Amino acid sequence: MSQSNDSLERPRRFYKEAARGPMEGGFAVLLDGRAVRSPSRARLILPNEALAALIAREWAGQGEYIEMGRMPATRLAYTAIDWIGDKREQTIEEVVRYAGSDLLCYRAGSPRGLVARQIAAWDPMLAWARQELQLTFHIVEGIIHKPQPQETLDRITDLAGKLDTFGLAGLAYATALYGSAVLALGVLTGRLGGDEAFELSRVDEAYQQEQWGVDYEAADRTAQHRADAAMVGEWFEALRG
């Protein structure tokens, strides 16, 4: 019997046990005692045991074939090790660009139901950002871009620049996932859970689905993004120890 193209594209699971263990510089993910390596062949060394345990669970949860699409924490760790280290400034600039057009700042003028939901969901997070992180944002009705205060963008640059490689990788990933640096910072600090931030990021989408029904392809994407958001929450929780 011939194999399907799908199975030929996925590597077969080659290990019995996935675990974590101490290694010079931190903790490694071990497959039958051998450390996982990144695509660039660097050893996958995590800064603490909790993050190594999160990634080891992904490897342990694989079936007959290894499906990287079901391993978001592993992929994020690869990004941190192979990419972020050499491109810190570029990554910080990406976070700042999202902050410059943060989702929470662009509001509908109608209908009243959506306007009310945006206010209830997003205003508390902007207030938190102002009080706890000294970040002040302009709120805009419509989609026409309005620059945010330079002091706010400089402050986000400073906050992102203080993170280590794994924290910065997580922040950049979360900012793109949510379309919001404010929500990403909320998860990083523990103000929000990863899934809670995701629900706040899709207020508009949820409202439209209530009015017009659910598109099944969009629902599949939402389910995948929700799983990624849950991982982001676990990622930052692990980093906070």
What pLDDT tens digit does each residue of the chain (241 aa) get? 334 444 447 899 999 999 999 999 899 999 999 999 999 999 999 999 999 999 999 999 999 999 999 999 999 999 999 999 889 999 999 999 999 999 999 999 999 999 999 999 999 999 999 999 999 999 999 989 999 999 999 999 999 999 999 999 999 999 999 999 999 999 999 999 999 999 999 999 999 988 888 787 888 899 999 999 999 999 999 999 8
Q: What confidence score (pLDDT) does residue 3 get?
A: 41
- Cα–Cα dist 32/89, whole Å: 37
Q: What confidence score (pLDDT) does residue 7 get?
A: 45
Q: What confidence score (pLDDT) does residue 4 get?
A: 40
**pTM recorded for the entire structure:** 0.93
Which residue ranges form the domains of the chain, and what is each CATH number?
5-71 (3.30.2180.10), 85-240 (1.10.3580.10)
